[in-house]
Chain A
């Protein structure tokens, strides 16, 4: 058969594509369950993180979540509750557009909406090393215990982390103004959502 003929070309291309895609599908099928469980585990860890509950970093976090967190749905929004130091803390998942793609995460607040308890990023597609730094601890830790001023929080300026917990602001990521501004909007929108659920 002619190697460069159209029939051979079509058949060879088909066979090659078919076998590689079949191999991929098989690998996907075999690892599907594990990947799905990892995804749920990582989301559960994010919720625990936002509550400030220490995670083990192992499979035990799966049960830790079942023990500490209760899930409910109010007005079509998934609400997570936990008891932290004797009082109730609530969290919701958020998602919104960043610079390149969707940023999803969890935000936990005191029930009276006075302070943010913590946030965690579940997934994002921001530039690694720039906007991607929103997922780093120094950035997320700025939100821990931060006071909410008039239902908002501001992400401003540049720097290595704002430590004042009463000024209702956190430092933006240097070189990532757009991601920082997007995150500010997303966080404030989720504060509004929680406020609406609380009826104020």
Chain B
């Protein structure tokens, strides 16, 4: 990375050109596991946006004090710190959401996008830009997961956000509820996105 990347470039990279899901292929475990219903997907991705943003700021502020040898341990510590804070706050002030999320909150710790951004971006950039990078990476992750969840919930349960939308005679596709269906959608998504990218490159 030469020089300071611009705010717009960071946004465009994280949402499209270098999207964490379909270009970097990061955070796939949660893409497969949680995308069978929109509510859970939505709440968890909001958590990821928050944790990614805050982790990036913190790593960026602390980067000059932390010896290189232990920087990844410290990053993990910071990620776990924010995830536990989110967990405690939800338990104390929004117990219903906390109950609905269950194990999702803890799963955020294992999301490699957060550590990836901390290591690749926050280690080399100023705090505010890192915050922006964390948030946009989270949003890039969020919209792909919501798209996958949209199709999986629609076909797997016949509902959207828990509201039945398919006609009465609709037979739910059980495979859509299981993790393998996310592979099909993700594969399809990567295919479409790459095709569009190649066309755009060819034109310019």
Contact = CB atoms under 8 A, between A and B. Distances in A.
A130 B175 CA distance: 12
Contacts of A4: 67-69
B174 interface: yes
Given A13-B73, A34-B93, A128 B84 contact: no
Interface stretch (B8-16, B31-39, B192-200): B31-39
Given A38-B95, A129-B34, A129-B37, A16 B88 contact: no
A17 B93 CA distance: 26
Interface of B: 33-34, 36-37, 40, 62, 65-70, 73-74, 77-78, 81, 84-85, 88-89, 91-93, 95, 99, 102-104, 172, 174, 177-178
A52 interface: no
A31 B92 contact: yes
A111 to B, nearest CB: 30
B68 A42 contact: no
Interface string A1-24: 001100011001100110010011
A28 interface: yes
A132 interface: yes
Contacts of B65: 12, 16
Contact of A129 (B40, B66, B70): B40
B177 A31 contact: no
Contacts of A129: 34, 36-37, 40, 177
A17 B70 CA distance: 11
Nearest to A125: B103
A16 B36 contact: no
Contact of A128 (B33, B68, B77, B95): B33
B68 A35 contact: no
A151 interface: no
A83 interface: no
Given A13-B74, A128-B34, A174 B88 contact: no
Contact of B74 (A3, A16, A23): A16
Contacts of A9: 67, 69-70
